[in-house]
Every structure is written in C-alpha cells, then in structure tokens.
C-alpha cells in the first residue's frame, strides 16, 4: 500500500465533480448515518462555492483514515428518531450512508434525484417539440418556400496546419417544398488558377439569374441562420441589410429529435442533430417533423 507523502502539498480540485471517492470534509464525515471524525492529515482540498455563492476552499480527509465519532448507540438512536424518515429515500427506499437530498417535500437519494431531473427535462423537451412540429407544418403550407443547402469549400490546410478561411467555391443545392430541384451546382468564388476549386465549378455569372430568383423567395429554410450569407454576398447583397434567416432548421431538428444525453456533466443536454447533407434530405426531415403527432391544443 502506498502511503501519501505528508510533506507534499495537498492537491486542489476544482468543484465537487472532480473530487475522487473516499475524500470528505469534516462536516460530511459528521453527517454520515454513523458519523465519523478525521484521524489523519488533510489529503486534498476542493475549490467550490458556499450557499451565498462565495468561493471557499475546503479541506478533504480520507475516509479510510477516519474513525467513529464519540457518539454512543443511544445518541445515534435518538438522532435517528429526530430525523424521522429523513434517512430513507422517498423514491426507492434506499438508506444511504450519506444524507438524502430534500426535493419538493421528499427526501431522495442521489439516483432518484437524478431520475427526477431527467424526467423533468424529458417533459420539457416533449413540450418544446410541439413548437417545432407546428413550425414544420407551417413551412410546408407556405407557398413559395425553398430548402437551401450552401456548403463552403475551402483550400486544403497548409503544412503548418493553418487554413485560409476564404472560400474557393460554394456548393449550392435547393429544392422547393414539393421536392422539385431548383438549384444543384458548385459556384467558383476564386480565380480559375486556384487548384483547390473543383473542376466542375461554374462562373458566378452563369447562374446569377437562377440564384437571385432563389434568394428572393419569401421563405428560405437553411440549416444554420448564416448559411446563405456567403451566397448573398457573392451576388451583391449589402452585408448591413442582409435579412437574418429565422427559419434555420438545425436547432429545430435537435429539439424535434429530443436525444437527451443523460451522461452530460452538470446538466442534461440534447445531442446535436447530424446534418442531413443535402437539401432534399432536409426537406424529408421537415416532412417527418410535420407528420409528428402532438397533443391537441391551440395552434
């Protein structure tokens, strides 16, 4: 067994999630069902915040180096009577060594608290799915409306790893809500001698009328709000007057899928939706969203 070096400075952990099992504050040891007291040196410290939000640095002791407190069995029985049901989880009946968490009128163990939080997040995600389903139905009802995918093509990274952020071409793919292909082309944005430009890329002027007609459509769905910015600039739009696309699909698909990551540290999050890659697949997602059954209620 390796004995900790008493002369070494104790490590400092940033937040409770970083603290390994087996390390406790003096108060945590005293709050155990069968309380204990430190009998060794401070083995670590944790930087955290108190109930007022003030940063504090707390000493941590090894559970293996602690000893039973001086409380007699009589004292412990009296403490249990005073606690009532405060040592039994109201969710699963667990009786942990450590204190339970008071949640909405019930004492819960850490697992039941986590399950409750996840259930609340799932209910919230379900309610938010309703809004994006209604949005999808409105998009399909709008005439005209188009689904646009603009992919920026960059030069390969330099040997140093740096990459020029200026695009050499734009891959443009668009369909209307009936599924008809409107545009399917790659537009050169750099000179013809730039080797990174795809060989099939066309000059911007050759598709100018087609692209300007597309960008004039009242309702345009893109994956991200700024996806069509480069295309609009290429065709002379004033950067200060470019409309903000409120019909971005990416976050709505994320909310519609509702794929909650239960292992995310600190709080639950939805996993990002994977880009479908083409405009027709984006339209397919919109159709699936619109076909989702939702609870009856005002639209």
Per-residue pLDDT tens digits for 179-208? 999 999 999 999 878 888 998 999 999 999
CB atoms within 10 A of CB 214: 20
pLDDT band with cut points at 50, 70 and 90 for residue 7? low
Question: Are 258 and 176 in a shared domain?
Answer: yes
To the question of pTM greater than 0.85 for the whole model, the response is no
Query: Domain tally for the chain?
Result: 2
pLDDT digits (tens, 9 = 90+) for 83-113: 766 788 999 999 999 888 888 888 999 899 8
Confirm whether 112 is domain-assigned.
Answer: no
**Residue 224: how many other CB atoms lie within 10 Å:** 14
Helix spans in the chain (H) = 26-30, 73-83, 110-141, 208-215, 229-234, 250-257, 279-290
- Res. 240: pLDDT tops 70: no
**Do 274 and 127 share a domain, yes or no?**
yes
- Domain ranges, residue 16: 1-83
- Residue 299 in any domain: the answer is no
Average pLDDT score, the chain = 88
158: nearest Cα among 215, 214, 196? 196
Is the residue at 249 inside a domain?
A: yes
Residues 262 and 163 in one domain: yes
pLDDT digits (tens, 9 = 90+) for 25-39: 999 999 998 999 999
């Amino acid at each position: 067994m390796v004995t900790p070096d008493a002369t070494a400075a104790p490590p400092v952990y940033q937040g409770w999630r970083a603290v390994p099992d087996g390390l406790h504050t003096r108060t945590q040891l005293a709050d155990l069902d069968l309380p204990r007291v430190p009998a060794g040196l401070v083995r670590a410290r944790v930087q955290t915040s108190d109930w007022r939000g003030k940063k504090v640095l707390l000493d941590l002791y090894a559970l293996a180096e602690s000893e039973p407190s001086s409380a007699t069995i009589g004292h412990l029985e009296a403490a249990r009577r005073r606690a009532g049901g405060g040592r039994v989880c109201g969710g699963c009946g667990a009786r942990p060594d450590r204190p339970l968490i008071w949640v909405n009128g019930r004492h819960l163990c850490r697992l039941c608290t986590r399950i409750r939080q996840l259930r609340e997040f799932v209910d919230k995600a379900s309610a938010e799915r309703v809004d994006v389903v209604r949005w999808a139905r409105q998009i399909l009802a709008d005439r005209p409306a188009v689904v646009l995918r603009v992919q920026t093509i960059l030069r390969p990274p330099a040997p140093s790893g740096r990459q020029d952020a200026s695009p050499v071409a734009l891959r443009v793919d668009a369909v209307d809500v009936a599924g008809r292909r409107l545009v399917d082309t790659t537009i050169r944005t750099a000179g013809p001698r730039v080797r990174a430009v795809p060989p099939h890329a066309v000059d911007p002027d050759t598709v100018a009328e087609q692209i300007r007609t597309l960008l004039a459509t009242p309702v345009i769905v893109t994956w991200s709000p700024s996806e069509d910015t480069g295309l609009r600039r290429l065709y002379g739009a004033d950067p200060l007057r470019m409309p903000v696309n409120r019909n971005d699909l990416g976050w709505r698909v994320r909310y519609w899928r509702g794929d909650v990551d239960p292992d995310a540290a600190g709080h639950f999050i939805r996993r990002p939706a994977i880009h479908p890659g083409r405009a027709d697949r984006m339209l397919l997602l919109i159709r699936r969203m619109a076909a989702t059954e939702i609870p009856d209620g005002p639209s």
